[in-house]
Structure 1
Amino acid sequence: MPISTDIDRYTINILKLAIARQDIPYRLEFDPSDTRTQSRYIEDVASGKVDLMWAASDQNLESRLLPVRIPLLKGLLGHRIFLIHKNDQYKFDQIQTLDDLKRLKLGQGTTWADTKILESNGLKVVKTNKYESLLYMLDGGRFDAFPRGIQEPWEEVNKIPGLQLVVEKRIMLVYKMPFYFFVSKDNPRLARALEEGLNKAVADGSFDKVFFADPSIRKAVELADLKNRKVFYLDNPNLPRETPVDRPELWLDINQLQ
């Protein structure tokens, strides 16, 4: 996968940590010019053209690929704040209930796990295949907000010169959203190696050390002003039964960040 965002860079650090805990010889190869969609990545991992990818999980993705069920972002990706047009903050200042929010339109990727979660909770969603298209569509008023993980929008507001985007100030959505490594179902050996390496890193504290020391995560938590946001909790009906919700050490306690 191309390494283009802070989440990508953080995930590579976690990948290197997992490999180091297993003492596995490896060579990482990335194509910075890669423009494949997530749908294409899923196909290429399934066929073995690509060894692994990372993505938010749901039942459909776990049916097609083999997940490594250690949430790489400790569930932080399920804490969503909005990217909006700079002139639209007034729309969100008036929101007091989930029904109020349901009057607005949210933008999402067609195949993203978040899309089904938002729709199943009664929210209006405008969909497209390409991520950058969502930024242009938001700027053009095709929808009102683009929900992002709390560490994502700070660099995205300036990603495309000329777009008039800002981070919304007072709303946050929260739902269970594991973000995993995925490999081909034909490569269980790689999945086992990664899972064992990640579990060792969790057990010895090095996983949390990398997570809490990551500058993009630390900055995002500070900028997002979590304590003063109005939170709407959503159900995730597509959360696979195998999700390790009974392992609290794998999930973020938001109080640890405050």
Structure 2
Amino acid sequence: MKALLILLLLFSAHCFAITTVTTTGKQKPDDASHDYFVGLLRLALIETADEYGYAVLQTVPYPGQERMLKLLALGAFYDVVWAGNSDIRQSDLHKVAFPLFRGGLGWRGMIIRQQDKNKFSAYHSVKDLSKVIACQGRHWPDADILEHAGLAVARVGYFDAMLHMVELKRCDYLPLSIFEGQAELDLVQSSFPNLIFYQDLIIQYPLTMHFFVKSNNKQLANRLTLGLQRLYDSGAYEYYMQKHPLTQYAFPLSKFKNSRVIKLENPNIKQKELAKFGLTWPSGK
């Protein structure tokens, strides 16, 4: 009887074991992007609870992107984070293949000063953009892409600092994905009333956002892949993108059909991304 009781207790402990998954904390108090990606992470874990058991998320402070990715590669502090894709990152980490903006991370509107709207309305080419200076994250793949195209880039460590630099005319525009730019600016609009998210001109290049885990953490990578695939197949992923406060402004995508588009190449990506989950840019200009 005693042996049976012990077996039952062990079985119960196994069935109700909870895995803790650690990810990064917010970059700033009002961080719409963080809420979007953590929400997706949580949904993917819930979708796979039957196969892998229950999981709870915990966060640790954000130390800057380069430091965060190095810590993840070492297996220190973080189990999973999200970042823009590059071949270098894929060599150090395990990428979860599903693109978290459905391939739209490289569809970039831009935060500019209100009084510069007419100036940007006359821009149609890389040559035009070469007259002004972009602000970008110090370790964002986007900074490399813009520089590769011959554009001037001011590399900055933190998002709020980029906004201040645009405001103070130390740079002229801050390219952000159409799926995040308006929501991110709305959160700080009272502090930066002179800035707007300009979407009549789109810079477009191949770039995707992904979850990354430590290179040998195949179990978590497989779990997240399965969870995201199920969300996509059920239609829940599309619904999430269209309704989340971060990404809802971009829908319907047909609103961009008359935007001017400047296409750039991405020197950091040699491997073709999976097109299965990608969104289609609206036809127009």
Partner of 2:273: 243
- Kept in 2, the 8 Å contact 1:89–1:169? The answer is no
Cα offset, 1:2, TM superposition = 2.1
> Following TM superposition, where does structure 1 have runs of at least 4 consecutive aligned residues deviating by more than 6 angstroms?
none
- Kept in 2, the 8 Å contact 1:56–1:112? The answer is yes
Cα offset, 1:223, TM superposition = 10
Describe the shift of the 1:56–1:199 C-alpha distance in structure 2 as closer, same or farther (beyond 3 A): same
- Kept in 2, the 8 Å contact 1:83–1:167? The answer is yes
CA distance in 2, matches of 1:121, 1:161: 34
Partner of 2:281: 254
Q: Percent identity at matched positions?
A: 27
Partner of 1:28: 57
Cα offset, 1:252, TM superposition = 0.8
- The SS at the match of 1:7 is helix
**1 or 2, which has the higher strand percentage?**
2
Partner of 1:63: 91
CA distance in 2, matches of 1:39, 1:200: 31
Paired AA for residue 32 in structure 2 = D
Paired AA for residue 88 in structure 1 = D
Cα offset, 1:92, TM superposition = 0.5
CA distance in 2, matches of 1:169, 1:90: 13
Give the 5 Å matches for 1:31-180.
31=60, 34-48=61-75, 49-157=77-185, 159=188, 161-163=190-192, 164-180=194-210
Cα offset, 1:72, TM superposition = 1.0
CA distance in 2, matches of 1:17, 1:225: 29
Mark the structure with the bigger radius of gyration.
2
- Kept in 1, the 8 Å contact 2:80–2:211? The answer is yes
Cα offset, 1:176, TM superposition = 1.6
Partner of 1:228: 258
CA distance in 2, matches of 1:208, 1:167: 24
Paired AA for residue 136 in structure 1 = H
| Aligned residue pairs, count | 251
TM-score by structure 2 length?
Answer: 0.80
Q: Give ranges in structure 1 of 5+ residues lacking alignment.
A: none
* RMSD of Structure 2 on Structure 1 (CA): 2.3
Greater RCO (Cα-Cα under 8 Å, separation 6 or more): 1
- The SS at the match of 1:168 is strand
- Kept in 2, the 8 Å contact 1:80–1:149? The answer is yes
Describe the shift of the 1:134–1:99 C-alpha distance in structure 2 as closer, same or farther (beyond 3 A): same
TM-score by structure 1 length?
Answer: 0.87
CA distance in 1, matches of 2:266, 2:96: 19
CA deviation string 1:147-171 (max 9, x = no partner)? 0111323244352754331122521
Describe the shift of the 1:156–1:206 C-alpha distance in structure 2 as closer, same or farther (beyond 3 A): closer
- Kept in 2, the 8 Å contact 1:150–1:224? The answer is no
Check if 1:202 corresponds to 2:232: yes
CA distance in 1, matches of 2:224, 2:106: 23
Q: Give ranges in structure 2 of 5+ residues lacking alignment.
A: 1-23
Greater shift after overlay, 140-149 or 87-96? Answer: 87-96
CA distance in 2, matches of 1:123, 1:201: 38
Greater shift after overlay, 75-84 or 10-19? Answer: 10-19
Paired AA for residue 136 in structure 2 = Q
Cα offset, 1:6, TM superposition = 2.5
Cα offset, 1:97, TM superposition = 2.4
